[in-house]
Amino acid sequence: MPAMIERAILAAIGNGGKQRRNSGKFGASHRFMPLSFHKESNMNHPLFASGTRVADDPVARLDAMIADARSAAIAADAEVAAISAEIAAIEPHPHAHGYTAAGDCGYSSMTPQHFLPLAGLLAQPWSATLATVETIRQEQGFDYLLKAFPSAFEALGDALVNGGARLIDDRAECVDDDLTVLFARKPMLALGMVWRLFGFHRRDGDAWVGIFAYDADLLTLIGSTERITATTMFGDALAMTVATHRIELSAAGIRELHKRSARRDAERQASWAEVSENYRLRGSWRGRTMTKGQRHMMHRIEAARGLPMPIATRRGASSDAIADAGGNPRFCSSGEENA
């Protein structure tokens, strides 16, 4: 019998069963015995044995938190992958592919008049055609293979026009428009849509830029691609190589596009430097409201360089702040920010 209960019973007997009711905090009452018994039970019969008491181990808690974080990261990655797959399954407007390809054609000095010659060139056997284009590129010092295409059109003559017309007829099902009709309405778009005949997709635009900017042996890269034979059309060979080496070529394309942007930025800076100093420092433009582009640029500088930019509402003060901070961090020489 627990000692506390035993003492209470003996005390009651000694008083002839007439134990005086106390009014203090610990006075005897009908609640006292169960409370005492509960306390005594907990002391003598704990719920957990002393050797098995759950310890508050910081290392164990940290391991559990790390495991939970890893599980959450895995679940998040799976969710992102699922959403990305859904987005990839959504096809853009059919003309989006043509506009993307047309932009690169325009950069390479192609015009709408090259509509049929381009189709004819891409329909030629790949090896000899690539050799011709590569020779022109080297002779004229082009840094981008597609820039050599207009000269190749001239070198190969009118035969390309007839071949291009046949190709467009043979692969009419590859596009949603009649390209000859589209050419009459939107010539430059039709020029870009020629690439669609060979499976061009705008999501692979970086990789297509990369194959024309490829600085190694493109002949070997294409020749080593599976299923490409000596009779494979030039356009098909390019498309198959892009599909096989998408990651490598996309990286090359991103670098090429970044270099173009850097050149455009340098040209803008040089053009602005040629403006009279009086206008640059005291022109009326300085008092106008800052542009959205300036605001975005200042935010970008803060994020890339950790430099708190001053609060400026006028166009001149914003321009000065951006210049003092080193300009666009995207094109800085230290490589703080890429692309």
Residues 38 and 107 in one domain: no
Max distance between CA atoms of the chain, in angstroms, equals: 131
CB neighbourhood size of 204 (10 A):
21
**153 lies in a domain?**
yes
**57 lies in a domain?**
no
Residue 110 in 3-state DSSP? coil
Residues 36 and 118 in one domain: no
Residues 121 and 233 in one domain: yes
**146 lies in a domain?**
yes
Helix axes 115-122, 149-156, angle to 10 degrees: 80
SS (H, E, C) 126-146: HHHHHHHHHHHHHHHCCCCHH
Which of 114, 105, 83, 330 shows the shortest CA–CA distance to 205?
A: 105
pLDDT of residue 55: 54
Token pair in block for residue 313: 């509402």
**172 lies in a domain?**
yes
Residues 38 and 122 in one domain: no
Residues 195 and 298 in one domain: no
**195 lies in a domain?**
yes
pLDDT of residue 289: 95
Exposed, middle or buried, 134 (CB in 10 Å: 0-12/13-18/19+)? middle
How many Å apart are CA 279 and CA 54, to the nearest integer? 77
Residues 6 and 125 in one domain: no
**36 lies in a domain?**
yes
pLDDT of residue 31: 43
- Is residue 123 within 8 A of residue 163, CB to CB? The reply is yes
pLDDT of residue 9: 52
Indicate the helix (H) or strand (E) that contains 96: helix 94-107
- Is residue 183 within 8 A of residue 115, CB to CB? The reply is yes
Residues 105 and 233 in one domain: yes
Residues 119 and 233 in one domain: yes
Residues 180 and 292 in one domain: no
Token pair in block for residue 232: 């494979």
Residues 234 and 304 in one domain: no
Which of 110, 262, 127, 261 shows the shortest CA–CA distance to 191?
A: 110
pLDDT of the chain, 339 residues: tens digit per residue: 455 555 655 555 555 444 444 444 334 444 444 444 444 444 454 444 444 444 578 898 999 999 999 999 999 999 998 988 888 778 889 899 999 999 999 999 999 999 999 999 999 999 999 999 999 999 999 999 999 999 999 999 989 999 999 999 999 999 999 999 999 999 999 999 999 999 999 999 999 999 999 999 999 999 999 999 999 999 999 999 999 999 999 999 999 999 999 999 999 999 999 999 999 999 999 999 999 999 999 999 989 988 788 888 899 999 999 999 889 998 875 444 444
pLDDT of residue 26: 36
**173 lies in a domain?**
yes
Residues 292 and 233 in one domain: no
Domain that holds residue 39: 1-19+29-44
**85 lies in a domain?**
no
Please count the structural domains in the chain.
3
